[in-house]
Structure 1
Amino acid sequence: MEEQLSLVKPSVEHYEEYLSFYEEWKNSNEPIVPWVVEKEPYDFAQYLHFLESEKDENNLPADYVPHSTYWLVKEDGRVVGAVNIRHRLNERLLKVGGHIGYGIRPSERQKGYATVILAKSLEKTRELGLDKVLVVCDHWNTPSEKTIRNNGGVLESEFTEEDGNVVRRFWITL
């Protein structure tokens, strides 16, 4: 990929572009991933505060783990993706969530951005001191599986959720 892509912390600098990203995804009626993108960002200061506060264990409900969110931004400022990095795993994340959840806005898919956002996210997990991360995808999501494998993912197992959905679990050694 020739163009410059950066993984950035959410900020007011990207307000308009992030709203465009969010609205495009909402209007697509597709499932939104990672989960933090589902949160309505119209009170942007509050949204940014929420994202920042989620890094601190003391601000979280008992069943949550500290996590950080970043946006994948093109050199022209366009927000093309988002990633949520869990700093550690709990029982639920070990089965079906993993350390890293990412998504690319619908109009920017199949351009290699998913591979880039996962690769850049792995750098962030190294900074957290992790030496191995779990990344998952639904069994039917062949593009996501390819992205995970392209970043060194090795299939460990599958987990069947209560609704019958099968989650494929990949480990990436850093």
Structure 2
Amino acid sequence: MPALIPPTVDVHASYLRAMAEHIAEGRGEPGDGSNVGQYIRQFGAGWAERPEFERFVGSLRAQELEDTPRPATFVPTTSLWWVDGDEYLGRLGIRHRLAPGRMGERNGHIGYDVRPSARRKGHASAMLGASLPIAATLGLSSVLITCDETNDASRRTIERNGGVLHDKLDEKLRYWLPTG
């Protein structure tokens, strides 16, 4: 049964296979501003080696802490991985507050990715649902979640979890979801 867990080195091999799937679909290219794209560019060259993967996992876990150094436009974020046994299926990040300015308005509190081979199996909806009580423990009574207007799968995921369309900002649909 899949579950959201903190990033762990225990799924190293599966994580690398998942990232290879993402790379095959074009993730990690310079214009890819997604979390997965950023991880691939920043850590991908070395994370096949266990010490580098351990450093990557440690860096993700450190982002939860308020005093961890980060760019001014980033906020503390709890990273969670959707894992079934030792099989990595996806990732989800909960920002503890909205990032300043337009970035926060466009990105919201929660972002998620499902590895390509695990898509269309209900994982995104399940992990988003599982993340809402965790967001509540972080003091968030409701969360803003955004998706591209053309991303029907993500829109359905958000709506299945109780998301109410708030508005559209540029190409982003913006939804509010209660966490309790």
Same fold (TM over 0.5): yes
Correspondence for 1:35: 35
Q: Does 1:14 align with 2:23?
A: no
Say if 1:94 and 1:134, in contact at 8 Å, map to a contact too: no
1:26 aligns with 2:23: yes
Q: Do residues 123 (structure 1) and 133 (structure 2) align?
A: yes
Report the counterpart of residue 169 of structure 1 in structure 2. Answer: 174
Give the CA RMSD over aligned residues.
1.8
Larger CA deviation: 25-34 vs 114-123: 25-34
Aligned to 1:106: 116
1:94 shift after superposition? 3.3
Question: What is the deviation of 1:30?
Answer: 4.5
1:6-57 Cα deviation digits (max 9, x unpaired): 1011111111111111121112214778515631251112101211221123
Residue correspondences, number: 165
Deviates more, 1:150-159 or 1:13-22: 13-22
| Secondary structure at 2:153 match in 1 | helix
Cα 1:12–1:30, aligned 2, differ >3 Å: closer, same or farther?
Answer: closer
One-letter identity of the residue aligned with 2:83 = V
Which secondary structure state, in structure 2, belongs to the residue aligned with residue 57 of structure 1?
coil
Equivalent residues of 2:75, 2:96 under 8 A apart? yes
Indicate the residue corresponding to 2:91 in structure 1: 82
Task: List runs of 5+ in structure 1 lacking aligned partners.
Answer: 161-165
Inter-partner Cα distance in structure 1 for 2:132 and 2:38: 23
Counterpart secondary structure, 2:165: strand
* 111 and 83 in structure 1: CA distance in 2 versus 1, 3 angstrom threshold: same
Q: Distance in 2 between matches of 1:5 and 1:26?
A: 23
1:121-142, Cα deviation, whole Å (9 max, x unpaired): 1121011121010000000001
Report the AA paired with residue 62 of structure 1: A
CA contact (8 A) 2:6 2:61 kept: no
1:7 aligned partner, one-letter code: L
Q: TM-score, normalised by structure 2?
A: 0.85
Moved more, 148-157 or 56-65: 56-65
Alpha-carbon distance between aligned partners in 2 of 1:30 and 1:110, rounded to the nearest angstrom: 19
